[in-house]
Amino acid sequence: MSSAKLVAESGKILDVASKDAPLTVRGLTVSYGNKPAVFSVDASIPAGSMTAIIGPNGAGKSTFLKGALGVVPRLSGEVRIFGKLFEDARDRVAYVPQRASVDWDFPARVIDVVLMGLYGSVGLFRLWRARHREQAMDCLKRVGMADFADRQIGQLSGGQQQRVFLARALAQNAEFYLLDEPFAGVDAATERAIVSVLKELKSEGRTVVCVHHDLSTVAEYFDRVLLINVRRIAEGPVETTFTAENLQETYGGRLAATHIDELHLA
């Protein structure tokens, strides 16, 4: 996106070029108590892109996602999903929370969790049919977890849990996927499996946004970055925005200069 930085007028999204973009955020502020976790952040995610949200711990990356999706209340700001309010575009969006956010001793099998992704399409009252089960199994196959369908979720490794969460989001068959730290604490095999699924989604024209921690894989996995440290530092294509200067500004003293050198940035 090369559009100039725009100023938001109240109740109006000004960026005409991105009117129907998967995600347009203007002046988003979310606070816990009276301390802002995300302060007046603007962002615009173009369709078909794969964006990494990057920033130090406690910089508000997850909160940005949750604020955009209305999981946590917004203090101020405007959010449009495909040019609409989230409530009106909900079935085009799938969210993958951090796997540590739930109790994995919950009485459910892997297949049950994936079926949760179909609640929206099945309705709250109708019963499951073989067709839904097949759909859920297809999603498990895509993340390489079909053999685990009948396992109790508490018996899974961290990486497997993460893939089950991804399968649940796949079951929603959305156009826009938002993932909160999908690679946190997973093994190499899981990371490969998840990345290949995400790239598949992108090749189908879907849009992907990930909260991401590993700076060394940003260029390999993503084509855009959104750098956040409570405020928005920078946003744009990896080649032009993922620079040593921007990273230094995002991380401050917390990122050693040698570390940045190792990234072989443009």
Using rule CB under 8 A, residue 137 touches another protein: no
In the bound complex, what is the minimum distance in angstroms from residue 243's beta carbon to another protein?
33
In the bound complex, what is the minimum distance in angstroms from residue 173's beta carbon to another protein?
13
C-alpha to C-alpha distance for 122 and 26, rounded to whole angstroms: 34
- Decide: 70 and 63 in contact? Cβ < 8 Å: no
Parallel, antiparallel, or unpaired for β 23-32 and 76-80? antiparallel
In the bound complex, what is the minimum distance in angstroms from residue 78's beta carbon to another protein?
18
Q: Where are the alpha helices (DSSP H) in the chain?
A: 61-68, 86-89, 110-116, 119-122, 130-142, 158-171, 188-203, 218-221, 238-241, 244-251, 257-262
Only segment of 7-15, 20-28, 92-100, 252-260 that touches another protein (CB under 8 A)? 92-100
Return the number of the residue (17 or 116) whose C-beta is nearest another protein: 116
CA nearest to 116, candidates 172, 155, 162, 157 = 172
C-alpha to C-alpha distance for 222 and 52, rounded to whole angstroms: 6
Only segment of 20-28, 106-114, 197-205, 226-234 that touches another protein (CB under 8 A)? 106-114
The amino acid at 47 = A
Return the number of the residue (28 or 238) whose C-beta is nearest another protein: 28
Residue 200 CB neighbours (<10 A): 12
Residues 52-81 that bind another protein (CB under 8 A): 66, 69-71
Angle in degrees, 0-180, between the axes of helices 158-171 and 188-203, rounded to the nearest 10: 20
> Among 23, 193, 208, 238, which residue interacts with another protein (rule: CB under 8 A)?
193
In the bound complex, what is the minimum distance in angstroms from residue 237's beta carbon to another protein?
27
Size of residue set near another protein by CB under 8 A: 39
> Among 21, 97, 227, 228, which residue interacts with another protein (rule: CB under 8 A)?
97
- Decide: 31 and 75 in contact? Cβ < 8 Å: yes
Return the number of the residue (57 or 101) whose C-beta is nearest another protein: 101
Using rule CB under 8 A, residue 172 touches another protein: yes
Which residues here bind another protein, judged by CB under 8 A? 33, 66, 69-71, 87, 90, 93-95, 97, 101-103, 106-109, 112-113, 116, 119-120, 124-125, 144-148, 152, 157, 160, 168, 172, 188-189, 192-193
